[in-house]
Structure 1
Amino acid sequence: MNEMSWPPQLPQPPVPPPMPVAFSGKRKEFFHLVARGAGLELITLGFYRFWLTTDIRRHLWSNTQIGGDAPEYTGRGKELLIGFLVAIAILVPIYLGYFLIGIEAEHLKAFASLPLVAFFYMFGQFAIYRARRYRLTRTVWRGVRFWMSGSGWIYSLKASLWGLLVVVTLGLALPWREAALERYKMRHSYYGDLQGSFEGRGWEFFKRGWWLWLLTPLALYSTIFIPFVYAGFKAIEWRWWLSGIRFGEVRLESTMRRSALIGLYWKVIGWAVLLGTVFAAYVALCTVLVASIDGSSIEDFFKTDAFAKSIPLLVLLGIGYLAFALAMNVVMRIYLMRDFWVRVLSTTIVHNLEAAASVSARGELANALGEGFADGLDVGGF
Structure 2
Amino acid sequence: MNDLQWAPIGPPQPIPPPLPPARVDFSGDRSEFRRLVTKGAMLELVTFGFYRFWLVTDIRRHLWSNTSIDGDAAEYTGRAKELLIGFLFALAILLPIYLAYFLIGIEFERWQGFASTPLFISFYAFGQFAIYRARRYRLTRTVWRGVRFWMDGSGWAYSFRAMLWGLLVFLTLGLALPWREASLERYKMRHTHFGDLQGDFEGDGWTFFKRGWWLWLLTPIAIVIFPLAPFLYAEFKAREWRWWLDGIRVGGVSLSSTLPHNAFYGLYWKVIGWWTLLTTLFGVYITCATLLIVKLSGLSPEQAFGPGHFAKSLPLLAAMVVGYFALALSVNIVMRVYLQRDLWAKVLETVQVHDIGAAADVRASGELASALGEGFADGLDVAGF
TM range (shorter): over 0.9
* Alignment pair present for 1:321 and 2:338: no
Specify which of 34, 39, 46 is matched with residue 36 of structure 1. 39
* Alignment pair present for 1:358 and 2:361: yes
* Alignment pair present for 1:168 and 2:158: no
> Which residues of 2 match residues 340-351 of structure 1 at below 5 A?
340-351=343-354
- Rounded Cα–Cα distance in structure 2 between residues aligned with 1:304 and 1:102: 28
Deviation at 1:253, TM superposition (A): 0.5
Cα distance change of structure 1 residues 286 and 107 upon mapping to structure 2, 3 Å threshold: same
Q: What is the one-letter code of the residue matched to 2:57?
A: T
Give the SS at the match of 1:265: helix
> Which residues of 2 match residues 205-354 of structure 1 at below 5 A?
205-298=208-301, 300-302=303-305, 306=309, 310-354=313-357
Alignment gaps of 5+ in structure 2:
1-7
Deviation at 1:295, TM superposition (A): 1.4
- Rounded Cα–Cα distance in structure 2 between residues aligned with 1:286 and 1:273: 20
Q: What is the one-letter code of the residue matched to 1:152?
A: G
> Which residues of 2 match residues 78-97 of structure 1 at below 5 A?
78-97=81-100
Q: What is the one-letter code of the residue matched to 2:345?
A: V
Deviations 1:284-336 (A, max 9, x none): 11111111221124465356774785222111111111111101100000000
286-295 or 52-61, which deviates more: 286-295
Specify which of 365, 368, 373 is matched with residue 376 of structure 2. 373
- Rounded Cα–Cα distance in structure 1 between residues aligned with 2:172 and 2:244: 22
* Alignment pair present for 1:178 and 2:205: no
11-20 or 58-67, which deviates more: 11-20
Quick check: 1:176–1:203 contact (8 Å CA) kept in 2? yes
Q: Which residue of 2 aligns with 1:133?
A: 136
Root mean square deviation of aligned Cα: 1.7
Q: What is the one-letter code of the residue matched to 2:229?
A: I
TM-score (ref. length: structure 1): 0.95
Task: Give the count of matched residue pairs.
Answer: 378
Of all paired residues, the percent bearing the same amino acid is 67
Q: Which residue of 1 aligns with 2:77?
A: 74
- Rounded Cα–Cα distance in structure 1 between residues aligned with 2:226 and 2:180: 26
Quick check: 1:105–1:111 contact (8 Å CA) kept in 2? no
Q: Which residue of 1 aligns with 2:207?
A: 204
- Rounded Cα–Cα distance in structure 2 between residues aligned with 1:261 and 1:310: 44
- Rounded Cα–Cα distance in structure 1 between residues aligned with 2:347 and 2:294: 51
Q: Which residue of 1 aligns with 2:51?
A: 48
Deviation at 1:116, TM superposition (A): 2.9
Q: What is the one-letter code of the residue matched to 2:344?
A: W
TM-score (ref. length: structure 2): 0.94
- Rounded Cα–Cα distance in structure 2 between residues aligned with 1:256 and 1:102: 48
188-197 or 12-21, which deviates more: 12-21
Cα distance change of structure 1 residues 312 and 109 upon mapping to structure 2, 3 Å threshold: closer
- Rounded Cα–Cα distance in structure 2 between residues aligned with 1:295 and 1:97: 47
Deviations 1:233-266 (A, max 9, x none): 0001000001000001100001111111011010
Alignment gaps of 5+ in structure 1:
none
